[in-house]
Structures are given as C-alpha cells and as structure tokens.
Amino acid sequence: MISRIIRAIAGSFILISILLAIYVSQNWLWFTAFFGANLLQSAFTKWCLMEDILKKIGIKDQF
C-alpha cells in the first residue's frame, strides 16, 4: 500500500514539474531532477523519507 502511494506521489510530482517547466520556467526541471535522484537513492539505500512520513501519519504497509 505504501509503495503504491509513494509511486503515485513521485509520478505526480514529476509530471507536475514537467508541466511547470513547459509553461512557467525551465528551472522547474531541477525539481524533476531532485525526485529522480531521490528515487535512485532510495533504490540503493532502501530508505525513503516519504515512506517515513506516511507511516507517521498512520498509513499501514500491507503485505
């Protein structure tokens, strides 16, 4: 459950930042790069800040 929410949030932020880069300023691509780097980092370290936040607000991880 948590991993699906995390993927949905990350995908939404990436798509939103791309749209902002097209219509507002190309500097929004830095936001996209940040999320890409965070996803890559979490793949290697198996730690994700968003996962910790979701757990603290009470979302349970289902297996």
On whether residue 26 sits in a domain, the answer given is yes
Predicted structure pTM score:
0.80
On whether residue 62 sits in a domain, the answer given is no
DSSP per residue, the chain: -HHHHHHHHHHHHHHHHHHHHHHT-GGGHHHHHHHHHHHHHHHHH---HHHHHHHHTTPPPP-
On whether residue 9 sits in a domain, the answer given is yes
Residue 38 pLDDT > 80, yes or no? yes
Q: Which residue segment(s) compose the domain that 46 sits in?
A: 2-56
The overall average pLDDT reported for the chain is 93
Per cent of the chain over pLDDT 70 is: 98
Mean pLDDT along residues 14-23: 96
On whether residue 61 sits in a domain, the answer given is no
**Domain count along the chain:** 1
Output the CA–CA distances (angstroms, integers) from residue 63 to 32, 58, 60, in the order listed: 30, 16, 10
On whether residue 52 sits in a domain, the answer given is yes
On whether residue 63 sits in a domain, the answer given is no
On whether residue 13 sits in a domain, the answer given is yes
Mean pLDDT along residues 33-40: 93
Q: Give the span between the Cα atoms of 62 and 51, in whole angstroms.
A: 13
What confidence tier does 41 reach under pLDDT thresholds 50, 70, 90? Answer: very high
